[in-house]
Each structure stands twice: as structure tokens, then as C-alpha cells.
Amino acid sequence: MGKLVCIILLSYLIFSVISYSCITDLKDHKVYTDQFATFQDIGTSYKGNYNDGHLCPSLSDQRDSKKEIFTTTISSGVVQVPSAIGLFEKEESCSLQDNHVRKQFAGLVLTPRLLGLLLFLLLIGFVIIIQNRRKNHFLLLQIQKKELIIQEIHHRVKNNFEVVCSLLALQAAHVKDQKLKDSLHHFQTRIQSMNMIHQNLCQGYHGEAIEMSGYFKSLGAYMLHTYGAADKVLIKYELEKTTLPIDLAMSLGLLVNELLTNCLKHAFPNGLRGTINIGLKKTPLHLELWVSDDGVGMGDLPGITDCGFGTQLIHLLAKQLDGKMRLKKSVGTSVTFEFQQPKAVL
């Protein structure tokens, strides 16, 4: 709206200036024309007087007043020659002014065309601005519509995950076999780790990407609550602010979920207190993820080197991401993954 007002004011200002110039030029031309007509009348009058002064009188009068006529003619010529010169100069000046006025009239003939061209260009610019605004508004509405659709999809996926988790919990409550119950419980935590991805996307849409720091903290708190270890195990986070695409974030979430499960199940037996460290660091070439604990260590207990489903899932996810895994058992257990930057961070 501001641009439209500026264009209208500019057009009005230009039109006013050109109109004032045209009116002024017409007034000047009228003055010059009147002066030129006056000078022509003076010249005509002078010419008549000059011819009358040189009419030949009768022969008898010439003889009687020869001396008088001669004296009068000489004195009249002396007086009228300077007047004739001044009149000639005025005629020349008037002729120059008339030529100047004619040139101005030639310019005034082009002025309406230039004014029309200027108004036409302003009209084209105004139409282009209106069209661009409409296109931008349409694109903005389309983007907002797609964002709402994507948010709705994530919301429905989250609800579906929650239904599955509830069914697994309900089924585990009616199972008497402890191993089967533990298996159902593990599946529930894995599904919940994926559910948290869509839960974060529902809370705030930032494109198809997840900020990993908040996600890992939520996952850690959920795992402590699920295994009832919040009062004896402390989780420390060394997380750089990193945003990853959904597929990669979900894979890393499953990795951390499996590693936290191993730590909470095996690293702190018999109510032993300890600390778990979760870290994520981004370098120009790699993305490094690690989970470590200061517990009793793996020893002969089942863990990352056995052939259980959790171990197979860890190796499968690491291979899928072209990652390298390093295992340390010096103090407690430490597992580190290193992924190539092109596939790890988009």
C-alpha cells in the first residue's frame, strides 16, 4: 500500500510540474508575439514616414526653398538614422525570441507523449508489484498449508506409536514368563524412542530435522524413569547443538536407547550408584557419538559383544550409517561411534 501511494504522489508531482511549465511557456509566447507585432507596426510606420519625407515637391517649390529643404533633409536624416538602427536591432532580437518560442512549442508537442509514456511505465510497475505480492502471498499460504499437513502427519504417527506402546505394556502385564516380559518391555522402550522424534516435531515444526540435544535429554530421562534408576544413576550430557534429519535422528535414538538399556541393566547391579555419559560432537568431517558408564564393566555379562537382538540392532544401525564402532572396557564400558559427515549431517 505504501508503494502505491508513493507512485500516485510521484505521478501527480510530475504532471503538476509539466503542466506548470506548459502554462508558463504559453504565457511567454503570447508576450513575445505581442512585442513582435508592436515592432512590426513601428517598422511599418517608420517606412511610411521615411517615404513621405522623400517625396519630390514641385519644381517651383524646390527652387524657392532649396536651402530649407536641404537643411531639413540633412537634419532629419541625422536624427532618424540612429532610430532606424535601433529598430533593426529590436527586429533581430524579436526574431531570435520568436525562434526560441517555436523551439519551445516543438518541445511542448513531445511533452504529452513523454507524459503518457511515463504514466504507462508507472502503470506497468504497479501491475508487476501487485502480481508479485499475490504470488508471494499464494506461496506463503501453500507453505503454511504444507507445514500444517506435515505436523498433522507427525501427530498421527505419534498417536499410533503411543497406541502400540500401550498395547505392549498391556500385553506384558499379562505375561508370566519373565524373559518374554522383558522382551516386550524392551520393544516398548524402542518404540518410545522413535515416538519422541515425532513428539518433538509436533511441539515445534522446524522442517524435517531434529535438534539432538533436547531429544537425547528427553530420552535419557525416559529411560531412567522406565527402569526405576533415577535415584541411583546420574546421566551427564556432553552435547553440541546439532540438527539432524529425521531418519538419522531416529537411528541414533535407537542406538542410544540400546546402549542405555545395557548400562541400566548390567553396569549397576545390586543398587550400585554411578554415572552415565552421553556425548555428541560434530567435526568438519565426522559426527561422533558416545555412551559410557563407570559401572562394573561388562566382564562375562551379556553386552555389546553377544548375539542378542539389541546387539544385532546396534551393529545393523552402525553399518547402515557407514559408521565405525569402538569399544573400551578399561573403567566401566565406553562405546563410541564415528560417522562420515556427508551422511551424518545434512
Q: Which residues contact 136 (CB under 8 A, 6 or more apart)?
A: none
Q: Is the confidence at residue 117, as pLDDT, over 50?
A: yes
Query: What is the pLDDT at residue 94?
Result: 63
Q: Which of 119, 137, 155 is the last residue of a domain?
A: 137
Residue 193 or 58, more confident? 193
Q: Do residues 129 and 215 share a domain?
A: no
Query: What is the pLDDT at residue 104?
Result: 58
Query: What is the pLDDT at residue 9?
Result: 52
> Residue 17 carries which side chain, given as an amino acid letter?
V
Query: Is 306 domain-assigned?
Result: yes
Q: Do residues 128 and 228 share a domain?
A: no
Query: Is 154 domain-assigned?
Result: no
Q: Do residues 128 and 225 share a domain?
A: no
Q: Do residues 213 and 340 share a domain?
A: yes
Give the DSSP letter string of 119-183.
HHHHHHHHHHHHHHHHHHHHHHHHHHHHHHHHHHHHHHHHHHHHHHHHHHHHHHHT---HHHHHH
Query: What is the pLDDT at residue 219?
Result: 92
Range of the domain at 328: 208-344
Q: Span 126-154, mean pLDDT?
A: 86
The whole-angstrom separation of Cα 323 and Cα 319 is 6
Q: Do residues 235 and 335 share a domain?
A: yes
66-101 pLDDT tens trace: 445 434 444 444 444 445 455 555 566 666 666 665
Q: Which of 118, 137, 156 is the last residue of a domain?
A: 137
Query: Is 287 domain-assigned?
Result: yes
Q: Is the confidence at residue 62, as pLDDT, over 60?
A: no
> Residue 279 carries which side chain, given as an amino acid letter?
G
Strand partners, 282: 287
Q: Is the confidence at residue 37, as pLDDT, over 90?
A: no
Q: Do residues 14 and 126 share a domain?
A: yes
240-293 pLDDT tens trace: 888 888 888 888 999 999 999 888 888 888 888 999 999 999 888 889 999 999
Q: Do residues 127 and 239 share a domain?
A: no
Q: Is the confidence at residue 121, as pLDDT, over 90?
A: no
SS (H, E, C) 184-245: HHHHHHHHHHHHHHHHHHHHCCCCCEEEHHHHHHHHHHHHHHHCCCCCCEEEEEEECCCEEE
Q: Do residues 133 and 213 share a domain?
A: no
Distances in Å between the Cα of 224 and the Cα atoms of 134, 188, 197, 220, 235 are: 53, 14, 18, 6, 9
Q: Do residues 122 and 245 share a domain?
A: no
Of the candidates 79, 101, 132, the one whose C-alpha atom is nearest the C-alpha of residue 35 is 101
Q: How confident is the model at residue 56 (pLDDT cuts 50, 70, 90)?
A: very low
The whole-angstrom separation of Cα 156 and Cα 170 is 21
What total of structural domains would you count in the chain?
Answer: 2
Q: Do residues 308 and 224 share a domain?
A: yes
Identify which of 20-29, 55-64, 110-119, 146-155 has the greatest average pLDDT.
Answer: 146-155
The whole-angstrom separation of Cα 110 and Cα 274 is 92
Lowest mean pLDDT among 172-181, 202-211, 219-228, 238-247: 202-211
The whole-angstrom separation of Cα 220 and Cα 230 is 10
Query: 3-state DSSP call for residue 307?
Result: coil
The whole-angstrom separation of Cα 316 and Cα 258 is 12
The CATH number of residue 214's host domain is 3.30.565.10
Query: Is 99 domain-assigned?
Result: yes
Q: Span 217-227, mean pLDDT?
A: 90
Query: Is 200 domain-assigned?
Result: no
The whole-angstrom separation of Cα 47 and Cα 159 is 113
Q: How confident is the model at residue 204 (pLDDT cuts 50, 70, 90)?
A: low
Query: Is 175 domain-assigned?
Result: no
Q: Do residues 114 and 233 share a domain?
A: no
Query: What is the pLDDT at residue 132?
Result: 92
Query: Is 229 domain-assigned?
Result: yes
Q: Which residues contact 190 (CB under 8 A, 6 or more apart)?
A: 254, 257, 258
Q: Do residues 97 and 220 share a domain?
A: no
Query: What is the pLDDT at residue 344?
Result: 46
The whole-angstrom separation of Cα 337 and Cα 252 is 10
Q: Which of 84, 107, 137 is the last residue of a domain?
A: 137
Q: Which residues contact 28 (CB under 8 A, 6 or more apart)?
A: 101, 104
- Residue 332 · residue 293 · CB < 8 Å: yes
Query: Is 198 domain-assigned?
Result: no
